[in-house]
């Protein structure tokens, strides 16, 4: 990567964090300067004691206003006038006017006569059809609805409904910390919020300071996460996709929380905060998953009504999520994790409520329903895992398990067309996965990479010795330069075939690096020996690379070399195997093949030991079975 490319990458990383801070601050609920609370019905009050600082009315709820309206309308009588063109005294109304009366549920009508009105019950009004059935003659409507007068009286009636009921005096206590927000207290608190919004005028200076304060707090928490990456996970900080992944995942949960608090009265516990540790753990490690979760929860705790309870419940759920999902290789594990999180939420909420209030009557039974909905949304994280995997070119354990299916088209073709290479790949995968477990690397990843590392040999299987029969080797009939070209091409052919089958980039990395920049030593040594004194271009006998850059790729390179070399041993004694393993790995180290990997000296020694023990177990001696003498047949 060039210097300019590195600078560009770091600029994009910095901008991603700036974008996260900006989106978070803009999404934060806009509380006015006098009322900075978020009210949740049925929840303990998580703020300080609230006392009325001024007189304010208690506003009626929509349900109360609707009840008042219904009460007034129960005796309201729409206005009608008589049709002067008819002398019939029977009250007959048109079908449209009758429908108006039925839809409004009116019980009375008022027939206007100048400045006087006479009320009649609606059941005395007939439709033309009913009038005909009663009198035996057709009667046109005798009364007509006066729409203008009716609407005028209705508007006056609506205006007479008071929007308030009672008043809260200055200095009166409204609610104290720990008290349950009942229906009555909820109504008073929302009335206070409305009164504050009507009386409060936020100055530009106040708004600027408020926004600046929010930005500083969010920056502080994100700086803690960046500091964690610098100290413990520098490789993540150096990865553009990782930084974008962390920023986007955290932003999704934070914005969802802000929107819920800003535009709804729903509880914050409907937001599946466990998405953060679960999705992060699938692609990265447990410590990073938990740290990102804590930072996200800290940011959201700045705006929730009961931050201590919220933080306690979410951290407990996050720890359980990380612990129960050590390595997700099956879809059912996500459902199990959701179940554990539901249980954790329920226990933590019950315990916290008992500890803070000392009363079991303060338990809100609806909270357990909210936790169940939350757990159901956690199961939906499987779809998000797939989206993040494709968007950021990541690789989940589920995908790796699917790739290791030997009945897949590519591996099945390898087994059919290049059986020797397939068996070699199987042995290498076993060696490499055992070595990965020994040093704490990703065993499933290296196992998958090992199965595909030699698929390039499908282009010409017969040119590789493990697939040859009867001792015929067509490469010996070629010039050394041509033979080397065929051998080396299995790397580029493998990359092309992998891309054609849409294999993940991490698997392609194993294909391109499993020989690094090493020499094809058989043909190189042969050429040097048969051309004494001639200057030989090493590049003509060298794999194109690149070198391995991860522990897993380095393990595969070692496993591939020692497994292939072990097939040429004449004796499988302990000394022969030990010497062969040491020689192959020492040669790769001397060539600088592992210079770009994070392998330690101890890692290399542990890998050597695993290879030696596994090869000894694979090639152990067996006793010869005696045969029967012909005389005893």
Q: How confident is the model at residue 203 (pLDDT cuts 50, 70, 90)?
A: low
Range with lowest mean pLDDT among 218-222, 353-357, 503-507:
353-357
- At residue 156, does pLDDT exceed 60? yes
Q: Is residue 450 in a domain? A: yes
Decide if 355 contacts 308 (C-beta within 8 A).
Answer: no
Local confidence band at 577 (pLDDT 50, 70, 90 cut-offs): very high
Q: Report cis status (omega within 30 of 0) of the bond before 325.
A: no
User: According to the model, what pLDDT value does residue 630 have?
Assistant: 61
Same domain, 440 and 359: no
Give the containing element (helix H, strand E) for 175: strand 173-175
What pLDDT score was predicted for residue 2?
44
Whether residue 450 contacts residue 510, with contact meaning beta carbons closer than 8 Å, is answered with yes
Answer with the one of 391, 418, 444 that is the final residue of a domain.
391
> pLDDT tens-digit profile of 109-139?
999 887 788 899 999 999 999 988 888 888 8
| In the predicted structure, residue 356 carries a pLDDT above the cut 50 | yes
Distance, in Å, from the CA atom of 363 to the CA atom of 117, rounded to the nearest integer, reads: 57
Tokens 């019980």 belong to residue: 107
One domain, residues 433 and 490: yes
Asked whether residue 425 carries a pLDDT value surpassing 60, the answer given is yes
Say if residue 331 is in the same domain as residue 297.
yes
Q: What sign has the CA pseudo-torsion 211, 213, 218, 220?
A: positive
- The answer as to whether 195 is a domain residue is no
The predicted structure's pLDDT at residue 466? 86
In terms of domains, do 318 and 340 share one? Answer: yes
Structure-token pair, residue 516: 């690094």
Smallest Cα–Cα separation from 545: which of 516, 508, 510?
A: 516
Give the tens place of pLDDT for each residue, 435-486: 999 999 999 999 999 999 999 999 988 888 888 876 677 877 777 778 888 8
Strand residue runs (E) in 73-137: 79-82, 108-113, 116-121
108-113 vs 79-82, strand pairing mode: parallel
Residue 10 has pLDDT above 50, yes or no: yes
pLDDT at 312 over 60: yes
DSSP 169: P
Residue 249 has pLDDT above 70, yes or no: yes
Are 334 and 449 within one domain? no
Residue 321 has pLDDT above 60, yes or no: yes
Q: Which of 348, 349, 338, 347 is nearest to 372 (CA)?
A: 338
Question: Quick check: is 199 in a domain?
Answer: no
Domain boundary (143, 159, 175) is at: 159
- Which residue from 390, 401, 380 is spatially nearest to 334, judged by alpha carbons? 380
pLDDT for residue 623: 54
Q: Which of 190-194, 218-222, 560-564 has the lowest mean pLDDT?
A: 190-194
* pLDDT confidence band for 31 (50 / 70 / 90): low
Place of tokens 């590195």: 6
277, containing H or E segment? helix 275-283
CA-to-CA dists, residue 212 to 215, 261, 368, 595, angstroms? 5, 20, 37, 46
| Alpha carbons 441 and 550: distance in angstroms, whole number | 9
Which among 603, 602, 494 is positioned nearest to 550, based on CA atoms?
603
Nearest to 614 by CA among 426, 467, 415: 426
- Under the banding of pLDDT at 50, 70 and 90, the label for residue 288 is very high
Per-residue pLDDT, averaged over 366-391, amounts to 91
One DSSP character per residue, 568-623 reads: T-S---HHHHHHHHHHHHHHHHHTTTTTTS---HHHHHHHHHHHHHHHHHHT---P
pLDDT for res 262? 86
Please give the residue range of the domain that contains residue 78.
Answer: 65-159
Shared-domain flag, residues 358 and 432: no
Q: Is residue 197 part of a domain?
A: no
Identify whether 241 is part of a domain: yes
Considering the domain boundaries, does residue 238 fall inside one? Answer: yes
Mean pLDDT confidence for 325-330: 72
Q: How far apart are CA 139 and CA 129, in angstroms?
A: 9
Q: Is 192 a domain residue?
A: no
Q: Does 193 have pLDDT greater than 60?
A: yes
Contacts of 204 (CB under 8 A, 6+ apart): none
pLDDT (0 to 100) of residue 532: 80
Query: Of 62, 39, 76, 41, nearest to 163 (Cα)?
Result: 62
CB 35, CB 174: distance < 8 Å: no
Residues 155 and 212 grouped into a single domain: no
Q: Note whether 509 and 544 are same-domain residues.
A: yes
The DSSP element (H or E) to which 145 belongs, if any, is strand 143-145
Q: What is the pLDDT of residue 3?
A: 45
* Of 45, 139, 59, 37, the residue nearest 91 (C-alpha): 139
Query: Is 50 exceeded by the pLDDT of residue 1?
Result: no
Q: Identify the bridge partners of residue 261 per DSSP, sorted by sequence position.
A: none
Kindly state whether residues 232 and 350 are assigned to the same domain: yes
Identify the helix (H) or strand (E) that includes residue 166.
strand 164-168
In a domain, residue 464? The reply is yes
How many whole angstroms separate alpha carbon 281 and alpha carbon 300? 21
Asked which of 373, 391, 409 is the last residue of a domain, the reply is 391
CB 20 within 8 A of CB 251: yes
Q: How far apart are CA 345 and CA 317, in angstroms?
A: 6
Q: Do residues 256 and 320 share a domain?
A: yes
User: Max Cα separation, the chain?
Assistant: 140
Specify the range with the lowest mean pLDDT, choosing from 371-375, 508-512, 619-623: 619-623
Q: Which two tokens stand for residue 320?
A: 């359980």
Task: Return d(Cα 17, Cα 246) in angstroms, integer.
Answer: 9
pLDDT tens for 48-103 read: 888 988 889 999 988 899 899 888 888 899 999 988 777 777 899 999 999 999 98
Lowest mean pLDDT among 82-96, 307-321, 405-419, 548-562: 82-96
**Residues 408 and 430 grouped into a single domain:** yes
Domain count for the chain, please give it. Answer: 3
**CATH number of the domain enclosing 572:** 1.10.3210
- Please state the rounded mean pLDDT for residues 511-529: 87
User: Are 386 and 237 members of one domain?
Assistant: yes
| Residue bearing tokens 């072990």 | 566
């Amino acid at each position: 990567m060039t210097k300019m490319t590195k600078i560009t990458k770091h600029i994009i990383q910095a901008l991603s964090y700036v974008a996260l801070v900006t989106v978070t601050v803009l999404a934060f609920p806009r509380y006015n300067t006098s009322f900075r609370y978020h009210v949740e019905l049925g929840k303990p009050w998580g703020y300080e004691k609230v006392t009325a600082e001024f007189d304010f009315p208690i506003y009626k709820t929509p349900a109360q206003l609707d009840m008042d309206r219904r009460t007034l309308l129960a005796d309201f009588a729409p206005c009608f006038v008589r049709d002067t063109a008819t002398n019939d005294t029977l009250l007959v109304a048109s079908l449209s006017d009758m429908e108006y009366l039925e839809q409004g549920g009116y019980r009375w009508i008022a027939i206007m006569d100048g400045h006087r009105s006479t009320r009649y019950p609606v059941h005395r009004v007939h439709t033309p059809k009913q009038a005909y059935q009663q009198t035996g003659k057709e009667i046109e409507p005798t009364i007509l609805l006066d729409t203008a007068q009716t609407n005028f009286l209705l508007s006056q009636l609506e205006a007479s409904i008071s929007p308030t009921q009672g008043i809260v005096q200055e200095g009166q206590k409204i609610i104290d910390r720990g008290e349950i927000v009942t229906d009555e207290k909820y109504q008073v608190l929302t009335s206070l919020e409305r009164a504050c919004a009507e009386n409060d005028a936020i100055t530009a200076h106040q708004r600027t300071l408020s926004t600046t304060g929010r930005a500083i707090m969010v920056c502080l928490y994100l700086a803690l996460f960046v500091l964690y990456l610098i100290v413990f996970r520098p490789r993540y900080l150096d990865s553009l996709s990782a930084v974008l992944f962390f920023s986007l995942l955290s932003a999704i949960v934070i914005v969802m929380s802000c929107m819920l608090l800003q535009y709804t009265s729903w509880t914050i516990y409907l937001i599946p905060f466990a998405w953060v540790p679960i999705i992060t753990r699938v692609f990265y490690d447990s410590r990073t998953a938990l740290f990102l979760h804590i930072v996200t929860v800290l940011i959201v705790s700045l705006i929730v009504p009961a931050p201590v309870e919220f933080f306690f419940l979410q951290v407990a759920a996050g720890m359980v999520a990380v612990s129960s999902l050590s390595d997700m290789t099956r879809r059912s594990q996500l459902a199990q994790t959701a179940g554990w999180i539901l249980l954790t939420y329920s226990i933590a909420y019950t315990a916290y409520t008992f500890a803070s209030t000392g009363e079991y009557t303060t338990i809100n039974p609806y909270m357990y329903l909210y936790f169940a909905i939350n757990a159901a949304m956690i199961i939906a994280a499987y779809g998000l895992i797939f989206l993040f995997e494709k968007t950021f070119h990541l690789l989940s354990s589920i995908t790796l398990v699917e790739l290791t299916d030997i009945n897949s088209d590519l591996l099945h073709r390898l087994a059919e067309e290049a059986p020797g290479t397939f068996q070699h790949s199987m042995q290498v995968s076993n060696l490499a996965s055992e070595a990965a477990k020994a040093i704490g690397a990703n065993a499933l990843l290296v196992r998958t990479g090992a199965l595909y590392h030699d698929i390039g040999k499908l282009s010409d299987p017969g040119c590789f010795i493990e697939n040859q029969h009867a001792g015929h080797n067509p490469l010996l009939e070629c010039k050394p330069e041509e033979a080397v070209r065929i051998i080396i091409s299995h790397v580029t052919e493998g990359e092309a075939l992998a891309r054609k089958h849409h294999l993940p980039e991490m698997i392609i990395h194993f294909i391109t690096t499993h020989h690094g920049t090493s020499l094809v030593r058989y043909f190189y040594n042969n050429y040097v020996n048969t051309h004494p004194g001639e200057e030989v271009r090493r590049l003509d006998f060298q794999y194109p690379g690149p070198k391995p850059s991860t522990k897993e790729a380095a393990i595969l390179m070692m496993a591939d070399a020692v497994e292939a070399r072990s097939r040429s041993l004449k004796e499988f004694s302990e000394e022969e195997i030990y010497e062969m393993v040491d020689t192959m790995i020492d040669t790769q180290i001397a060539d600088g093949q592992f210079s770009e990997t994070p392998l330690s000296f101890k890692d290399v020694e542990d890998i050597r030991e695993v290879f030696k023990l596994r090869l000894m177990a694979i090639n152990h001696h067996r006793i010869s079975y005696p045969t029967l003498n012909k005389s005893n047949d």
